[in-house]
Amino acid sequence: MSIERERARILSIWRVESATYNFSVGISTTMAQAYAIKVLDFDLNLLGTMVLIQLGSVGLGYFFGSILVPAFRARRILFWKLFGILNRCLWASIGFTHLLPEQHRVSLFLLNIAVAQLSGSIAGVASGDVGADLVGKERAVKFFGSISSLNMVANSLALATATTFFSFLSEGDSYIASYIVSLVFSIVSSVFLLMLKDLSPSISGRSLREIVADFSDIARNSDYSSYTMIVTVFTFIVNLPGALWNYYLLNVLGGNETWVTLKAIAANLSQSLGFRVWSRVSRIIGLKKTLYTGIILTSPIPVAFTILPTLPGQLALEIYSGFVWAAYHLANNIYTLYLPKRASRVYFIALLNISSNTLASAASRLGASIASISLAAMNAVFTASTIGRIFMSIIAKRAAPDVAVK
């Protein structure tokens, strides 16, 4: 079999793996906060701790991944498979936490999330390195736009399944049924993950001294550092209300789990369309313009969320949100994989995610602490996120480098 036919076969398997993975985590991650609030009785401070751990573990995972993957780069596909399977199966198991002894539920729930996120981050470093080589820069925008669109559809189908459960079953049975489906699809996606191959396995590893030197080179590069600054600060601003969305929806606006799933479905379907549209637009206007346009278009979302008390209003907002976030996510994915040189890619992915997720976890904890003071303080957190996004769009327009891709 020719190398191109083998590449096409592997990319087809990856599409199926990615779709089934997103079906699984579409349920397990989207319902996690609602499950914590409604079943485990999390208050706002515990939710802040949950998001702190969730995001902080991502940064920690990327730190370990940035050492493991470069040091044993010929085995990067094995890291993707091992930690990827652990990530999806652990996420799918959190919905059974209420079946555990009561005194251990909170600690085990948080530990499960921490290990799942850490594993997923290590898998992310490995998959980003393998995937970028599989796809190639010349077809990056088209392929990643297509696969991201497919993932959003899979995610939406998963949430439609959960919505059906919550419409016809009791609350407790609905969570159990949803997480059983998530677990089944985590196993199915794991089978496809095991079928993937690395077409560039003969890559020499790096010593610890070389890895430190490579990180130092990345930090000194002005294009890398300016882009890292933009993403890091923007992520901090976005995550100020990170622990508040579902709490506000369920306890202030009077919504329920069906609101959560329907909103996510609307956002995913809109984002699926958005990836296809923005992949075409970005080839015309360039990645830099796509990046800062996406940022400015997200700015109304936090304030609009607090002043739309009905389900139709919230769904309309999610349709808008999904479409405009697709611009930012597409641009960010391409920047992350193709801004650095191939030899520096692993370190750049790691550095970007360590810095952004560390600050994101701090932002969510800060936002939850402020919001716990009063409803007015909670609304102020959403307003601050809107203002900060406007500011960051201006910074991105001035400071972001550009990457020429097709």
At 201 the pLDDT is 64
At 1 the pLDDT is 60
pLDDT band at 213 (very low <50, low <70, confident <90, very high): confident
Judged against a pLDDT cut of 60, whether residue 405 lies above it is answered with no
pLDDT over 70, % of the chain: 97
Judged against a pLDDT cut of 80, whether residue 402 lies above it is answered with no
Give, in degrees to the nearest 5, the angle at Cα 27 between 184 and 91.
70
Judged against a pLDDT cut of 60, whether residue 406 lies above it is answered with no
DSSP element (H, E) containing 296: helix 287-298
At 142 the pLDDT is 76
At 122 the pLDDT is 94
To which residue do tokens 């391409």 refer? 334
Domain residue extents for the chain: 3-399
Q: Which of 39-43, 174-178, 206-210, 329-333 has the lowest mean pLDDT?
A: 206-210
At 204 the pLDDT is 65
Secondary structure of residue 41 in the 3-state scheme: coil
Judged against a pLDDT cut of 90, whether residue 111 lies above it is answered with yes
pTM over 0.85? The answer is no
Residue positions counted in the chain: 406
DSSP conformation class of 40: S
Q: Which of 181-185, 211-215, 328-332, 348-352 has the lowest mean pLDDT?
A: 211-215
At 404 the pLDDT is 64
The CATH architecture annotation of domain 3-399 reads Up-down Bundle (1.20)
**249/270 Cα distance (integer angstroms):** 20
To which residue do tokens 């079999």 refer? 1
At 35 the pLDDT is 94
Q: Are residues 234 and 367 in contact, defined by beta-carbon separation less than 8 angstroms? A: no
